[in-house]
Amino acid sequence: MVGYNNHLSQHPYDHYDSAMKKTASGFSPLICLDRKAGKPLYSQVYDAFRAAIVGGNLRAGQRIPSTRALSSELRISRIPVLNAYAQLLAEGYFKSRVGSGTFVSSSLPDLLTPSQDYSARSTRVLAMPRPIARRSSLIPRYERPAWVSGHGAFSLSQPAVDAFPFHVWSKLVARYWRDLHRSALQYGDPMGFKELREAIGAYLRAARSVRCEWQQIMIVSGSQQALDISARVLLDAGSPVWIEEPGYWLTRHMLTAAGCRLVPVPVDNDGLDVAVGVERCSKARAAYVAPSHQYPLGATMSASRRLQLLEWAQSAASWIVEDDYDSEYRYDSKPIASLQGLDHSSRVIYIGTFSKVLFPSLRVGYIVIPSDLVEHFVAIRHAMDVSPSHLYQVVFADFINEGHFSRHIRRMRLVYGGRREVLVNCIRKELDSVLQVHGAEAGLHLTVTLPKGYRDRVISARAARQNLWLWPLSPSYLGTTPRQGLILGFGGATVAEIPDAVRRLRAVLTSDRAR
């Protein structure tokens, strides 16, 4: 494999079992002592612990503070605490382990299990009226379908984390903590760390032809937060918004939560069909597009469509939110320049993320904001969460400025290009008569459409039982006549693993139960 010749080691805490993790706290329940009461202090301490255990606030295996620590906290003699602990030990509420401390016993008298207690409390609560915002009920309930429950062959949004230069990253993190300044522990700029914004600006200008200065760049926790902030600034409840059909389902949820009226606009091989969008809603407040690599079909918006979209935005006084999805990886041509770089009217809000370029838990993204809107975006960002976390911003800025980022992208382009080629060849060899491939020219996934009679949700659920984590295409549609297909990620499977995964997919597809 082209990469850094390093491997992921287990975190040391992975070796601890769940019981040991429960015993680490040493928290005491809220104990209010009344020295004027007729009840002895030891009895008050005993009652407080027993009530906390029976009520489920202290759970089995949880560590109890030492008698010395608790007596100091309560500002009383140690003797009442010793007497209370002795009684709780005698009655089986506490258990003492030599050399380890005192813990809540795993066999507790007079105690409902936490799940039973929770169920009983939930039943009582649900009997009362509980009004919530109407728009929150418009978003489907959060669920994890079978096909998003694992990692490996065909899993979406999964980069090759085993090829990430963690040895370099770890050194940068260690250097950050070694040279830590007090200012790093305080709230930061709502726009983000200046050095990172400068580094991202230099990257976007060179690699994506984005027209920006660092003062226009806001650091966010990912593309979803970028879209949320943009919606809060640009859109009102009821605002019509063009969305790609099919498109990214979380984008639909985010815009629905903002109270927008969604206007689905079809996507073809040239990207979003602007003429259809104008026909359906010429005065839409905004258009959400991914012109460099559309999700899920992988189309790249043609030059003529880009110019049509910009012309529409200017004439309609509307906004374009450009999601630069997976733009770093193209395999048959050089990266496509951004739509924002063609915009001379400051109508484009440009967003992106590094979740798949580096690793998903990094949660670092950005917004490039038109200069006259910066103060509005800052106000919303500050109201939401004050400022982004400081640690990863500093480390990532060093990672870019010292050349590690550009080297990583070049190396990973070779890795992913090889995986993509093997996957396409295997599909053509094993499933050419069944699957039609779309959007294999870029990104970390490709889409295949199914012949009539196949049900993609059924296939995805059955594939998950074979440790194949492909996504159905149909949920990406807002309309009532979705195409049936499968979205196959290739970032998280090696070249050696892909042929066997395709053969197992063929077995799933040839089963009668897939129809």
> What is 36-54 written as a DSSP string?
TSSS-HHHHHHHHHHHHHH
pTM passes above 0.85: no
Residue 107 DSSP class: S
Query: Which three-class secondary structure state does DSSP give residue 442?
Result: strand
Query: Measured between alpha carbons, how far is 138 from 16 in angstroms, rounded to an integer?
Result: 41
Q: Mark out the alpha helices in 281-335 (DSSP H runs).
A: 303-316
Domain 147-158+408-514 has CATH 3.90.1150.10: yes
Residue 140 is predicted with a pLDDT of 78
Numbered ranges of CATH 3.40.640.10 in the chain: 182-401
CATH architecture for the domain at 1-131: Orthogonal Bundle (1.10)
CA pair distance 101, 262, nearest whole angstrom = 59
The CATH 1.10.10.10 portion of the chain extends over: 1-131
Q: CA-to-CA distance for 447 and 111, rounded, in angstroms?
A: 53
CA distances (Å), origin 100, targets 15, 66, 67, 103? 18, 10, 14, 9
* Residue 404, SS3 per DSSP: helix
- Tokens at 109, concatenated: 């008298």
Mean pLDDT by 10 residues, the chain (515 residues): 45 40 61 89 94 88 91 92 94 88 79 51 60 78 78 85 92 90 84 95 92 96 93 95 94 91 95 97 96 92 95 97 87 83 95 90 93 96 90 93 93 92 94 88 90 92 92 91 93 92 92 59
**Residue for token pair 């990214």:** 248
Residues of the chain with CATH 3.90.1150.10: 147-158+408-514
Q: Which fold has domain 182-401?
A: Aspartate Aminotransferase; domain 2 (3.40.640)
